[in-house]
Structure 1
């Protein structure tokens, strides 16, 4: 119960990695608000956690809107108490070569992945700063190091890494830590939709040769969110099966 008495918001928490993060934080004793663009999805996931004996609630929020991010934090504080932990997990991935990349794809990717992270972090920093305490954990990606067909996604996640480092410096004097997790190949519904041929190529490029789980990311987040991570800020923790070190030819 490392996080007993703490409250947290997890954006994009209705499924996949976000839901695993919310589940882990709630299992550690935190009261968790699952925020998602899909109100129905957030409600369903919060209900599932509640049925298992955990404390979870839901709120609909579009992180690309600064007003929505402010309202999300305000609602959480009004109903759940002071915000201790923010996990910026909401994100999208639109892949394709630069020759086929549209302005809409580029702008949407940066709006959700980078601007969304900024909007939510700014809203959280305002209330955390007043109490001089808080944890912000941003979900980046190993892809920020670069990968074929992921120029928009890699740029957005590279921005998240740089934003994390700068914000960590800025907020350190206020007692707020800011760190990032960079997942690699993780077993999510999106990955499961890939063809066997694509999965074979992805695993061939993985040094460990195995796929990670959403729970792996949840455990990493709980380190940064808890007391053990109190002296760690501005860091990027890779949960990628070694792919950040090198990739085998795929």
Structure 2
């Protein structure tokens, strides 16, 4: 298929972590539709294959890269591979995440460390690696995935802390990196239908369809979200239309939050 032309991200290289499925996969494909070549990052390369194939079908370059986002050496090696095979990173979406839900008195230190490690440490390591490639070009876009859980959620002290931390991290990076032409923002999804929310239903022994219906009744727009809803907002934030938007947390939850 011929290369697409006249797209907002033509000539740019995007990295999306946790892009094997769900929000990450839809975001990676949306950025490819916007013209970017995309590095699809996930814990193992096998998980990236469907997303890579979908991007390549659009006529864009894509590579699947196995990376433990919480491991410094793994992130460094992955960022170097992206630069060598696709070019300098221009867009970074820190989406990788895990759940280890439990009430505080049942939560293990390992459950805490794993969630904070993947979400916050992972965002830190990838942002640090990406900005080193962005600064010389005086252009870059970083979007961090927060959550409405940043406002507090029973049984998610670790996840809520990580997602609240992501917001402070975003605002600090916006201040530091703004002078170098880099915009940094966060998106905070509400209820989105993904494998992760399905796992929450299973953990609580709740029918997933019933969970969605109950959630929709409390959402002003009367529906739950789809991964594409998040991808659409990320697409805007990494475009030049949002060049004067930085340090912001956009709640994408079907109604007002925070």
State the TM-score, normalized to the length of structure 1: 0.93
**CA displacement, residues 119-177 of structure 1 (integer Å, 9 cap, x when unaligned):** 00000111211222111111111110111211110000111000000011011111111
What 5-or-longer segments of structure 1 have no aligned partner?
Answer: 246-250
Preserved contact between residue 43 and residue 59 of structure 1 (Cα < 8 Å): no
Q: Which residue of structure 2 aligns with residue 214 of structure 1?
A: 227
1:1-250 correspondence to structure 2 within 5 Å: 1-192=7-198, 194=201, 195=207, 196-242=209-255, 244=257
Q: Report the Cα distance in structure 2 between the residues aligned to 1:214 and 1:54, rounded to whole angstroms.
A: 21
- Aligned equivalents of 2:220, 2:153: Cα separation in 1: 15
Alpha-carbon distance between aligned partners in 2 of 1:52 and 1:130, rounded to the nearest angstrom: 29
C-alpha RMSD of the superposition? 1.5
Secondary structure of 2:134's aligned partner: helix
Maintained 8 Å contact 1:142/1:243:
no
Q: Deviations along 1:64-90, whole A, 9 cap, x unmatched?
A: 011111111111111101211011000
Count of paired positions: 245
Query: Partners of 2:212 and 2:243 in 1: how far apart?
Result: 38
**What is the TM-score normalised by the length of structure 2?**
0.90
Point out where structure 2 has 5 or more consecutive residues left out of the alignment.
1-6, 202-206
